[in-house]
C-alpha cells in the first residue's frame, strides 16, 4: 500500500473518531448533520457489499467493517440516544436531490452493468456530494464548533490524500479509475472554501463575554460562558424551547421565573457561570 492511501485511510478514521467522541463526550449531536450521516451510511453499505463475495486482505476487510459499524453507530447516537439534541430545524438539505441523480448517473456511466458494480459506482458518486448537507448546515447557522470543524477538515483531507494516491498509482502502477478520480476531485472542491476558513480563521461557535440577547421580548445580558458537556436531563427541555423560538442551539435562552439567578444552568453545551440580568 502506498503512503498516500494509508494517510488517507488514517485521516478518514480520525474524522470518524473525532465525530463519535464529540457526540459521546458532550452528550449532544448539535451542529452535526444527520442527513449527511445517513448518506455516508448509504455510501458504505452500497460499496462494501463485496465483503460477502470477495476477499482482498485483512486490512481491507477490517477497515470496511469499522466504517460500517461507525456509520450506523453515529446514526444510532444521533437519532435515538441523543435525539433531543439533534438540530433538525437547520438540517434541511433535500437529500433526494443528491440520491436520485447519483442513481441515474451510476446506471448510465459505470465500468460494468452488474449489480455490485453499479452499487459501487453509485457509492462513489454519492460520497462526492454526501457532505453537502453538513456544509449547508454550517453555512446556514454561520458557525460550527471547533470539534465539528476538525471533523470536516480530517474528512476533507482524506479525499485530498486520495487524489495523491491516484496520481501515485498512475505513475507507479499505470492504473487509474476515471470515475473515482473525477468524483474525488468534485468532493475535494466542495471542501475548498471550508479549508480556507479553517486554516485562515477557524470557524467554530463560541460565546463571547458580556453578550446580549433578545428572548421572548426581554433583553437579557449574559457574562462568562464556559464550555462543558451538557447534562442529558436538560436536553429535552432545551430542545422543546429551542423549537418554540426557532433559533440556533447556540443562541436560544431558557425562560426563568427569576432572571437574576441563572448561574450554573446548562444551555446546549455551554454553562452560564455569570449572572443574567434584565436590561
Per residue in 242-255, pLDDT tens? 455 444 433 444 43
Q: Which three cell numbers stand for residue 6?
A: 494509508
Nearest to 120 by CA among 35, 169, 49: 49
Contact 247, 228 (CB under 8 A): no
What is the structure's pLDDT at 31?
83
- The ranges assigned to domains in the chain are 3-200, 211-278
Given a cut of 50, the residues of the chain with pLDDT beneath it are 203-234, 238, 241-242, 245-279
Nearest to 242 by CA among 233, 230, 251: 251
State the DSSP code for 214.
Answer: E
Contact 225, 264 (CB under 8 A): no
Contact 75, 41 (CB under 8 A): yes
Q: Which three cell numbers stand for residue 269?
A: 453545551
Dihedral, CA atoms, 273, 215, 89, 92, nearest 10 degrees? -110
- Structural Rg of the chain based on CA atoms: 21
* CA separation for the pair 137, 139 (Å, rounded): 5
End-to-end CA distance of the chain: 63
* CA separation for the pair 252, 270 (Å, rounded): 11
* CA separation for the pair 13, 155 (Å, rounded): 9
Q: Give the full edge-to-edge strand order of the sheet including 270-272.
A: 225-227, 270-272, 266-267
Contact 242, 216 (CB under 8 A): no
* CA separation for the pair 29, 23 (Å, rounded): 5
Q: What is the pTM of this model?
A: 0.69
Dihedral, CA atoms, 240, 245, 249, 252, nearest 10 degrees? -110
* CA separation for the pair 52, 254 (Å, rounded): 51
Q: Which helix (H) or strand (E) holds 266?
A: strand 266-267
From residue 269, how far is each of 99, 134, 225 by CA, in Å? Answer: 33, 19, 10
What is the structure's pLDDT at 196?
67
Dihedral, CA atoms, 38, 39, 40, 46, nearest 10 degrees? 110
What is the structure's pLDDT at 251?
41
Amino acid at each position: 500500500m502506498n503512503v498516500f492511501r494509508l494517510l488517507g485511510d488514517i485521516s478518514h478514521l480520525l474524522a470518524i473518531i473525532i465525530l463519535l467522541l464529540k457526540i459521546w463526550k458532550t452528550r449532544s449531536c448539535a451542529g452535526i448533520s444527520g442527513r449527511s450521516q445517513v448518506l455516508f451510511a448509504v455510501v458504505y453499505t452500497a460499496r462494501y457489499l463485496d465483503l460477502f463475495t470477495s476477499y482482498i486482505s485483512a486490512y481491507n476487510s477490517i477497515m470496511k467493517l469499522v466504517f460500517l459499524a461507525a456509520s450506523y453507530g453515529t446514526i444510532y447516537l444521533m437519532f435515538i440516544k441523543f435525539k433531543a439534541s439533534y438540530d433538525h430545524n437547520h438540517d434541511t438539505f433535500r437529500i433526494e436531490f443528491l440520491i436520485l441523480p447519483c442513481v441515474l448517473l451510476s446506471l448510465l456511466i459505470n465500468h460494468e452493468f452488474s449489480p455490485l458494480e453499479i452499487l459501487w459506482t453509485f457509492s462513489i458518486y454519492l460520497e462526492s456530494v454526501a457532505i453537502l448537507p453538513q456544509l449547508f448546515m454550517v453555512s446556514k447557522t454561520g458557525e460550527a464548533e471547533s470539534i465539528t470543524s476538525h471533523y470536516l477538515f480530517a474528512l476533507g483531507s482524506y479525499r485530498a490524500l486520495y487524489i495523491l494516491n491516484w496520481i501515485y498509482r498512475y505513475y507507479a502502477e499505470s492504473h487509474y479509475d476515471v470515475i473515482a478520480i473525477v468524483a474525488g476531485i468534485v468532493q475535494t472542491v466542495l471542501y475548498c472554501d471550508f479549508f480556507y476558513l479553517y486554516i485562515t480563521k477557524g470557524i467554530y461557535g463560541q460565546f463571547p463575554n458580556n453578550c446580549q440577547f433578545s428572548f421572548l421580548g426581554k433583553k437579557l445580558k449574559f457574562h462568562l460562558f464556559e464550555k462543558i458537556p451538557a447534562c442529558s436531563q436538560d436536553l429535552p427541555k432545551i430542545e422543546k424551547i429551542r423549537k418554540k423560538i426557532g433559533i440556533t442551539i447556540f443562541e436560544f435562552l431558557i425562560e426563568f421565573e427569576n432572571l437574576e439567578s441563572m448561574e450554573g444552568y446548562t444551555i446546549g453545551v455551554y454553562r452560564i457561570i455569570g449572572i443574567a440580568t434584565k436590561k
